[in-house]
Structure 1
Amino acid sequence: MEKILEVKDLHISFHTFAGEVKAIRGVNFDLYKGETLAIVGESGSGKSVTTKSIMRLLPEHNSEIKGGQILFEGKDLAKASEKEMQKIRGKDISMIFQDPMTSLNPTMTVGKQIMEPLLKHQKLSKAEAKQRAIELLKLVGIPKPEIRFKQYPHQFSGGMRQRVVIAIALACNPKILIADEPTTALDVTIQAQILDLMKDLQKKIDTSIIFITHDLGVVANVADRVAVMYGGRIVEIGTVDEIFYNPKHPYTWGLISSMPSLDTKDDELYAIPGSPPDLLEPPKGDAFAPRNEYALKIDLEKQPPMFKVSDTHYAATWLLHPDAPKVEPPEAVKKRMQQFKANSTSPKKEGN
């Protein structure tokens, strides 16, 4: 598969009154044409910071890319000027944010908002842009698009507003679509509709998607590959089947254990003990060690490298070192893996 994006040894800091927050500490991943890569982890793990840095949308007054590269079609976006980024944003790389209401201008009709990127990047006439905007509203499943084109955001439900945001993001047929927890503000039924819409649209427009979420259940339904983030680093990456059926990092075990299922009783839901690390003073060893019941002595002293599990599966845990004791995943993880296998041949089908 052809790579469309390469993130290499990315380091990002925020300068605050309390000191330098080392939010991203050596992130590496690739994105291939036509695939969906999910980035998953708790709040504060660095998911949104990583992807906003791709769009260069981090606040200029206190954020800094300290090192690394963001290579898009061979161009390093980490060093691109604001003028260069304005040509890329919306045209080649688009983003869908969490809350559709704050993403839309309440004083403009949705039609005009969809037309904006078409007029700016595609150089269409107003008549052509209007026709394309109506087509996009229809594509994202909004009924009576000719009427809806003239309406304002407050006249749409939350789910319909998110469809409008997706239409705007897709207006210029971007090569990369970044979806930053696009279903968080929506109820469960509407979440499922938006996820189905995104899967359907990807087949139609053949774009690459980076999908950010804290919900592994969502990942199972939409992703081809999964990157698990913790403490500003990627701690495990692999295909969706590898992450669900053969997870290797104790943090991934914790995320899988905490996924509710139809069989889960009220008193059974697992929560990972402890709190995320303070990135004002990042630990010198494995950031997850204080919360990891399987931590080894070396975890407190030295950051583990990425150990190869397969050609597509890597995990940063000392438990994969040849000299480490053999540790089996906890029973809660094994139970969830058995449920995946019982429900489908692939976790991607479990929610369908």
Structure 2
Amino acid sequence: MEKILEVKNLSVSFNTHDGEVQAVRDISFDLHKGETLAIVGESGSGKSVTTKALMKLLPEPQGFIKNGEIMFENEDIVKKNEKQMQKVRGKDLAMIFQDPMTSLNPTMKVGTQVMEGLIRHRNMNKQQAREKAIEILKLVKIPEPEIRMKQYPHQFSGGMRQRVMIAIALACDPKILIADEPTTALDVTIQAQILDIMKDIQAETNTSIIFITHDLGVVANIADRVAVMYAGKIIEIGTVDELFYNPKHPYTWGLLGSMPTLDSSEEELFAIPGTPPDLLYPPKGDAFAPRNEFALKIDYEEQPPMFKVSDTHYAATWLMDPKAPAISPPPSVQKRMQADKAKKGVLK
């Protein structure tokens, strides 16, 4: 598949009163046309900072891209100034934020907010923009769009506001759609509807999606590939099947083991001990080592490289080194993997 985005050795930092917080540390990944890449990890792992860097929406001057490249259509976004980025945002790169109530303008009618990008980026007049906005609201399954166009955000439910956010993001047919935990504040039923809408839209438009979440259950339903982040680094990346059925990093094991299933008893639910490191002072070795029951001596001394599992699957753990002892995932994770395989029909 053709690559539409290449991120190379990206590092993002924040200047604070205490010093430099290294929020994203030397990460690399790519995105192909028409695919969904999910980025998962605990709060503070660097997921949202990564996407804000892609859009160059970091809070300046505190937040800044320290080094790296973000190649989009053979141009480095890192080198673009604000005026140049205003031509890219909304038109080529669009973002759905986590909380639509704080992202939508409460003083503007919903229709006006959907039309804004069409008038700015696609040079439509008001009538053309209105017709297109109604069409987009229908696409995201908002009933009676002609009436809804004249209403304000407070007149919409949480799920409907999130659909409006998706409509605004899709208005100019962006090539990449970044969704920053768009279903976190929604109940399970509405969450499923929003995910279905996004999948349907992707099938129709072939848009590439970067989906940020901490919920691996959501990942299983929407992603083609998954990147797992911890302490500002990507520690495992692969197809959704590889990450669910053949995970290699102990942190990925922990995430999978902590996912409840319908047949799980309360005693079986696994929790990762400890807390993530302070990125004011990033650890010398593997950042996950203090929380990793399988940590080796070298984990405290040296950061592991990305070991190749397959052409599409890589993991940054010293357990992949040929000299490392053979260690299997914990029983809770193996049980989860078996259950997922059986559910998908992989096991006969």
Q: TM-score range by the shorter chain?
A: over 0.9
Code of the aligned partner of 2:328: E
| Number of matched pairs | 347
In 1, Cα distance between equivalents of 2:202 and 2:62: 35
> 1:190 corresponds to which residue?
190
Task: Give the alignment's Cα RMSD to 1 decimal.
Answer: 1.0
> 2:325 corresponds to which residue?
325
In 2, Cα distance between equivalents of 1:108 and 1:152: 6
> 2:163 corresponds to which residue?
163
> 2:288 corresponds to which residue?
288
Moved over 3 A (4+): none
> 2:266 corresponds to which residue?
266
In 1, Cα distance between equivalents of 2:345 and 2:300: 38
> 2:148 corresponds to which residue?
148
Identical-pair percentage = 73
In 2, Cα distance between equivalents of 1:318 and 1:31: 26
- SS of equivalent to 1:5: strand
Correspondence 1:105-124 to 2 at 5 A? 105-124=105-124
Aligned-residue offset at 1:118: 0.2
In 1, Cα distance between equivalents of 2:243 and 2:180: 21
Aligned-residue offset at 1:61: 1.8
Asked if 1 retains the 8 angstrom alpha-carbon contact of 2:268 and 2:332, the reply is: no
Residues 255-290 of structure 1 deviation map (CA, whole Å, 9 limit, x = unaligned):
000001101222322110000011000001000000
Code of the aligned partner of 2:254: G
- SS of equivalent to 1:199: helix
> 1:40 corresponds to which residue?
40
Residues 155-183 of structure 1 deviation map (CA, whole Å, 9 limit, x = unaligned):
11000000000000000000000000000
Aligned-residue offset at 1:90: 0.3
In 1, Cα distance between equivalents of 2:11 and 2:168: 30
Aligned-residue offset at 1:66: 1.0
- SS of equivalent to 1:343: helix
> 2:132 corresponds to which residue?
132
In 1, Cα distance between equivalents of 2:162 and 2:29: 28
Q: Which runs of 5+ in 1 are unaligned?
A: 347-352
> 2:257 corresponds to which residue?
257
Task: Output the TM-score relative to the length of structure 1.
Answer: 0.97
> 1:240 corresponds to which residue?
240
Aligned-residue offset at 1:244: 0.2
Q: Which runs of 5+ in 2 are unaligned?
A: none
> 2:78 corresponds to which residue?
78
* 1:16 equivalenced with 2:16 (yes/no): yes
Code of the aligned partner of 2:343: N
Task: Output the TM-score relative to the length of structure 2.
Answer: 0.99
- SS of equivalent to 1:322: coil
> 1:349 corresponds to which residue?
none
Question: 222-231 vs 99-108, which deviates more?
Answer: 99-108
- SS of equivalent to 1:150: coil
Aligned-residue offset at 1:196: 0.8
In 1, Cα distance between equivalents of 2:331 and 2:73: 44
Residues 9-57 of structure 1 deviation map (CA, whole Å, 9 limit, x = unaligned):
0111100001110111101000000000000000000000001000000
> 1:220 corresponds to which residue?
220
